[in-house]
Structure 1
Amino acid sequence: MINTIIFDFGDVFINLRKEHSIEEFKKLGLDGPNEDLLAHNDLFEKGKIDELQFINSFTKYIPNASLEEITKAWNSIIGDFPLERLEFLQMLSGKYRLFLLTNTDSIHIERFEHKVGMSFYTDFYRCFEKVYYSYEMGMRKPEPEIFNAIIRKHDLSPKRTLFVDDKKDNTDAAAALGLHVWNLKVGEEDVVDLFDQKHLPL
């Protein structure tokens, strides 16, 4: 029986506007991400480079854009957080051990907190036994060690733990370690549908 649930954040609780962010960068002259920028994003999400180093990585490709414009475009991916998802999470928190595990960066988390306000994000964080950000952990999904670190620290039983994420690479990595998984299909499924029998093993 499941007694622990580890949740992803983006497109599970908060909606991400990926296409909108790409369009905002196009307005600044950047025609989509490239390998160099993706590599810098990986480093930023692992906390290996700081905010200024990350934002500066864009200036090579869009030299006429200001750091403020780049930051704004970067944060334009942050969408809304439906209240029913928070209410659902609050209901779950009385029944399961809950953890948040997300590949993210300090800029996005600051934007999220500013956007929803202190009362909302405090209620959200309070639902979890522990919130794990990749940039604070120095590693990111789907690296097995990020899952193992949480399992070890909190003495979790993989066979009694469910991991929910919208990226198949991440759920595949968790499944390989023995966790139950739900690879949530964005736009077709919602986290509030968790109690559909196919998503929550008994």
Structure 2
Amino acid sequence: MLLSGPLAPTAFDAIIFDLGGVILPLSYGRTIDGLSALLGRDAREIYQETSQESLFDRFERGEIGQEVFRDSLRALARGSRPPTDEELNQAWNAILEEIPEENVALLRGLSRAKRTFLLSNTNEIHLAKFEADYEARHGGLHGPFWTLFEKDYYSHRIGLRKPDRAAFLHIIDGHGLRPERTLFIDDNHHNVDAALALGMSAILHPRNEKIGPYFEGWLDSSELAF
């Protein structure tokens, strides 16, 4: 069932969150601009919000490592000077913004009330940058990011990528979840459609908008405290 908030807390036992665009704001334009400058071509020819070359899918499934990924990007360059590893990493990571503190508080509270999971299409470069930034801003007080969930899953680590059915079943079967009692929140309609096909309820989240309104009335002020 496709839903919008606010939601009834008694309707769900488990929640599966997407990361980028839901919990963590994204700025695709910054990475597209950065890669375009480095590669001497319009990066939208190979990478966009709604579509991307198979190179990026393979990187997100962990089929290639970051060295091969960067070398493959350099092979696509049309400029006179090949970009360095550091330059490519910086442009690639420019998409990542800071996770809002209100999202950390909400996820911490929800983790005490429900079974919460993360299922993210990502890659080793982005995850290393995100985890370092999170640790610097929140880790000293709140601990590692993974503690906000019963379990966090990343496509490059499990070798599965949304909207593949197997990516969802990896969590559902692995944790004994009932699809009809599970809520999935993602900003990509292909991923939401896949979750709905498996019998889950789902929210197609407007990218980078607040997630708190979905859970109005679920937690009291003490549960939202850090």
TM-score (norm 1): 0.91
Q: Cα distance, 1:191 vs. partner? A: 1.1
| Matched letter for residue 12 of structure 2 | I
| Matched letter for residue 44 of structure 1 | F
Matches within 5 A, 1:1-202: 1-28=11-38, 29-35=40-46, 38-62=53-77, 64=81, 65-117=83-135, 120=138, 122-187=143-208, 189-195=209-215
Partner of 2:8: none
SS in structure 2 at match of 1:141: coil
SS in structure 1 at match of 2:64: coil
Separation in structure 1 between the aligned mates of residue 86 and residue 43 of structure 2, nearest angstrom = 19
Contact 1:18 1:77 (8 Å CA) reproduced: yes
SS in structure 1 at match of 2:116: strand
Q: Cα distance, 1:124 vs. partner? A: 2.9
Separation in structure 2 between the aligned mates of residue 143 and residue 181 of structure 1, nearest angstrom = 16
Contact 1:103 1:133 (8 Å CA) reproduced: yes
- Where in structure 2 are there 5+ consecutive unaligned residues? 1-10, 218-226
Separation in structure 2 between the aligned mates of residue 170 and residue 81 of structure 1, nearest angstrom = 22
| Matched letter for residue 73 of structure 1 | A
SS in structure 2 at match of 1:6: strand
Contact 2:135 2:144 (8 Å CA) reproduced: no
Between the two proteins, what is the percent identity of the paired residues?
A: 36
SS in structure 1 at match of 2:42: coil
Contact 1:184 1:190 (8 Å CA) reproduced: no
SS in structure 2 at match of 1:78: coil
Q: Which runs of 4+ in 1 moved over 6 A?
A: none
TM-score (norm 2): 0.81
Q: Cα distance, 1:67 vs. partner? A: 2.0
- Where in structure 1 are there 5+ consecutive unaligned residues? 198-202
Q: Cα distance, 1:58 vs. partner? A: 0.8
User: Which has the bigger relative contact order, CA under 8 A and spacing at least 6?
Assistant: 2
SS in structure 1 at match of 2:113: coil
Contact 1:14 1:82 (8 Å CA) reproduced: yes
